[in-house]
């Protein structure tokens, strides 16, 4: 965390708040206390097992109270003002806090549950943690609108939180992500992301682990080498390569992988983080340059499980967007939504060519 100060505070209802300051921040070291009168935190949600798949579904009724696209003067992620009792008491560069309406929450004293096996009517407490990562105090924007210096601070925050959350009892996997755009279902325009600390290995990662078991531990290394020889590369540096995958499902889909075996953000080196802060911004600005207005997306940072497969599962960004044209979205209908059988609308090679052109245009008009 060289040059990026970290301060840990507590909100009025006991949730944790962490400030990460830019290296050249002009903010004062002192931060205000949260003096709001808040109701108690909601009880930790319940998980129920789908016996047909073995997957766990969280039932979190508290999420129904989330704020929906508030005006700037009532933005819950902006610094507090006399008229806006937001979640963050002080001015900040980057702030991380426990979600007020989480899908996973504190252990009520039961201890980690045994989630193995399959049975009818199984339930368990949804122990884990959900955090909000505020990229900036600005009301509108996304990761791609940040400065390179601020992007670097956010990457440090991701690394710090990955390490801290991985150390919590019962946490099996840590997932940083950004939802961008109302077409994705975003409820706040404020530039922010989230981090989920799950009590289980997610279904998507379980499928990857099954593929590694069948193929061998070099699966992701071989995949990267395969893509580096092809025509779907969109951006590359000394430590990272971005490409449209051979079997892309979404109209816009880009994967970004480190060249070295790195299981998660906490394991990345200083040099890898430095390069990522530039390459990732170039990629996101290129995605936005595909059309005349910003593209909705999910930026999902897949990380290795906390306690297994650290030498074979590689940190990977999978950025996906349903946008298949200037005014068209891909909706998951019968085959995809019901059966998980995908039909791609755009050839991956064609989309890679368009992304390379868009990144080159963004480099000229909106350089990092």
Q: Which residues are catalytic?
A: 192
Choose among 74, 76, 82, 81: nearest CA to 95. Answer: 76
- Distance (Å, whole) CA 312 – CA 315: 10
| Strand order from edge to edge, sheet including 46-49 | 56-59, 46-49, 123-125
Residues in the chain: 368
- Distance (Å, whole) CA 11 – CA 19: 12
b/e for 234-257, b at 16 or more Cβ within 10 A? bbeeebbbbbbbeebebbbbbbbb
- Distance (Å, whole) CA 102 – CA 85: 19
Judge contact between 47 and 125, C-beta under 8 A.
yes
- Distance (Å, whole) CA 189 – CA 182: 8
Token readout for 66 is 């989330």
Judge contact between 22 and 149, C-beta under 8 A.
yes
The crossing angle, in degrees rounded to 10, of helices 270-288 and 148-166 is 120
Judge contact between 93 and 27, C-beta under 8 A.
yes
């Amino acid at each position: 965390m060289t040059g990026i100060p970290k301060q840990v505070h507590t909100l009025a209802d006991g949730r944790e708040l962490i400030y990460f300051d830019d290296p050249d921040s002009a903010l004062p070291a002192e931060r205000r206390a949260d003096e709001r009168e808040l109701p108690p935190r909601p009880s930790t949600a319940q998980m129920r097992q789908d016996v047909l798949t073995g997957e766990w579904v969280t039932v979190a009724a508290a999420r129904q109270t989330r704020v929906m696209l508030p005006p700037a003067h009532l933005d819950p992620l902006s610094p507090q003002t006399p008229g806006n009792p937001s979640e963050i008491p002080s001015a900040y560069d980057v702030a991380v806090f426990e979600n007020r309406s989480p899908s996973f929450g504190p252990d009520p004293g039961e201890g980690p549950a045994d989630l193995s096996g399959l049975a009818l009517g199984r339930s368990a407490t949804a122990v884990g943690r959900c955090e909000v990562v505020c990229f900036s105090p600005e009301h509108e924007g996304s990761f791609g609108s940040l400065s390179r210096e601020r992007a670097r601070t956010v990457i440090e925050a991701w690394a710090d939180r990955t390490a801290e959350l991985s150390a919590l009892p019962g946490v099996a996997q840590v997932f940083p992500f950004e939802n961008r755009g109302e077409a994705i279902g975003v409820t706040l325009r404020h530039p922010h992301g989230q981090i989920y600390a799950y009590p289980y290995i997610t279904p998507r990662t379980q499928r990857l682990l099954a593929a590694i078991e069948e193929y061998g531990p070099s699966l992701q290394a071989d995949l990267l080498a395969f893509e580096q020889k092809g025509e779907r590369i969109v951006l590359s540096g000394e430590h990272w390569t971005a490409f449209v995958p051979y079997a892309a499902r979404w109209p816009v889909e880009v994967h970004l992988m480190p060249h070295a075996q790195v299981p998660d953000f906490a394991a990345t080196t200083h040099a890898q983080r430095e390069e990522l802060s530039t390459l990732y911004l170039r990629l996101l600005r290129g995605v936005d340059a595909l059309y005349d207005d910003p593209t909705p997306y999910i930026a999902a940072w897949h990380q290795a499980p906390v306690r297994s497969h650290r030498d074979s599962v590689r940190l990977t960004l999978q950025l996906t967007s349903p946008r298949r044209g200037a005014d068209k979205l891909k909706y998951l209908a019968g085959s995809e939504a019901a059966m998980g059988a995908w039909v791609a609308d755009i050839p991956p090679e064609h989309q890679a060519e368009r992304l390379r052109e868009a990144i080159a245009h963004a480099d000229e008009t909106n350089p990092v």
